[in-house]
Amino acid sequence: MAYHDNEWGVPSYDPHHLFEMLLLEGAQAGLSWSTILNKRDGYRRAFDGFDAYRIACYDQQKVSQLLTDPSIVRNRLKIEAAIINARCFVALVDEHPGGFAQYLWEFVGGQPTQNAWTRAEQVPTSTPGSDAMARDLRRRGFKFVGTTICYAFMQAVGMANDHTTDCFRYPQILDFSHARGRVPKAR
């Protein structure tokens, strides 16, 4: 509940937070989001605070260590995907002049998509933007970034306001998004 009330859907332009959420959404595949939230502190500790540059240097010894850590989901494919994704993140940051945040926000035109769902059943599991994001991330070598994962990521980091219109957060996120405007350029 605290995650929904304080974090979910708030537009994030912090590349470190965006990277964390992308890894957590990938770890969630096939599991409940509450499982990942309950292990979030464990992930932060096990994955060096989601420092992509440190994770990119992990070797097989580190993978073996992570596979014994009960504070995270001990799935070899997901652990190895996190390392691959960190390496892809580093390459993307080096290649993209606007940085990771600007790259991701380009999939929604630089500002949050403001939906107006009246019922949770109306919320889609993917959109053309999440489809395009998934395709491009996979082209760049990222793993566990299918269209559903990308859309869940976009919802979590505020690229899409998918709070239902009767949710107290809907107008708050709408106001926050309008006040914030477009994603800033990286420095």
Catalytic residues: 3, 25, 33
Please return the burial class of 44, using the count of CB atoms within 10 Å of its CB with bins 0-12, 13-18 and 19+: middle
Q: Are 25 and 156 in contact (CB under 8 A)?
A: yes
Distance CA 86, CA 106 (A): 20
Tokens (6 digits) for 50: 């989601």
Please return the burial class of 64, using the count of CB atoms within 10 Å of its CB with bins 0-12, 13-18 and 19+: exposed
Rg of the Cα atoms in the chain: 16
Q: Which long-range contacts (CB under 8 A, 24 or more apart) does 124-129 make?
A: 124/151, 125/151, 126/150, 126/151, 127/151, 127/154, 127/160, 129/154, 129/159, 129/160
Distance CA 141, CA 170 (A): 35
Tokens (6 digits) for 51: 């420092």
